[in-house]
Amino acid sequence: MSESIIKPLPLLFGQRQSLKRAVFAFFLLSLGALLLSCSTDPGGVVFDKAEKQYSMGDVASALSQYQYVVDKHPESVAAPTSQYRIAQIYNHNLGDRKKALEAYSTLYFMYPNAPETIDARVDLAVIYASNSEHRLAIEQYQKLLTERPSQYAKFQYLIAMEYIMLNDFKQARVEFIELLSRASGELVPEVEYQIANTFYIEGNLDDAMERYRKLIANHPESPFALNAKLGIAKSLSETGMLSEAMAVLKELKDKYPNKDAVTVMINAVQVRLDEAPGSKSHATAKN
């Protein structure tokens, strides 16, 4: 008894091609779904939600979401920024400097190479400076000199100002004088003005006046030239050269932006002139 075998009809060429295309399309769709499932960053999804909340002023909810990203998805590409946002919220929004410092410390510990650490260093320097921890502020600014070289002049200026806050005027001048070699524009007279100020604060009035006069000669149109003239008047007054101080102040009266400040100084110098031996007021009071 012969066995009947029913063989399938052969596919036509066009049908075989259609089947191949269908199989290939299915393969691509499957591969795409697999890649999508592998590349999805759940931390990024939560981060986007937190960013929206933060932009809308919902700080508490945003803080919770940022913390969730760091705690539950520390490997997420959004985790370093989330940790930085946590520090920013404590620092700028909530005014909790202690928790802010802890959050910045966590950022450096968990993500030491993240770009956010550079912005965080600027924040840290400001916090330390406002807490009168000037040496810690200087340390941060010094690191920024190499981490953000495009802003070298800005950070060196801030370093010099921190030395002034430490009453280390000699080192402040070292920083300012070095800065002059790279400064340009209106920063140059500003730096020269600050150098003169360091001498004035020290009580080295002759050197202060020399520096003020140099600034005026080099940058007569700069607003800092007016500040320098006021510095000269103050220095002259403190050295007892009251008539000379008065002459400078009268010249400044209609030029200096803060006219009230100049008027106060004029009145103070006038009182001292009236009380000086040999003045008419002094002679009248004596008689």
Tell me the domain boundaries of the chain.
43-120, 132-179, 184-282
Could you give the CA distance from residue 99 to residue 97 in angstroms, rounded to a whole number?
Answer: 6
First to last CA, the chain: 158
Residues 269, 246 contacting (CB under 8 angstroms) = yes
Examine domains 43-120 and 184-282 and report if their fold is the same. Answer: yes
Radius of gyration of the chain measured on its C-alpha atoms: 35
Residues 213, 232 contacting (CB under 8 angstroms) = yes
What is the per-residue pLDDT for 6? 41
Could you give the CA distance from residue 75 to residue 67 in angstroms, rounded to a whole number?
Answer: 13
What is the per-residue pLDDT for 280? 55
What is the per-residue pLDDT for 243? 97
What is the per-residue pLDDT for 3? 46
Domain 43-120 architecture: Alpha Horseshoe (1.25)
Could you give the CA distance from residue 83 to residue 79 in angstroms, rounded to a whole number?
Answer: 6
Residues 80, 114 contacting (CB under 8 angstroms) = yes
| pLDDT per 10-residue tile (average), the chain, 287 residues | 44 50 45 44 94 98 98 97 98 97 98 97 98 98 97 98 98 98 95 98 98 98 97 97 98 94 97 81 50
What is the per-residue pLDDT for 277? 79
What is the per-residue pLDDT for 281? 53
Fold topology of 184-282? 1.25.40
Could you give the CA distance from residue 250 to residue 233 in angstroms, rounded to a whole number?
Answer: 10
Could you give the CA distance from residue 221 to residue 192 in angstroms, rounded to a whole number?
Answer: 14
Residues 262, 230 contacting (CB under 8 angstroms) = yes
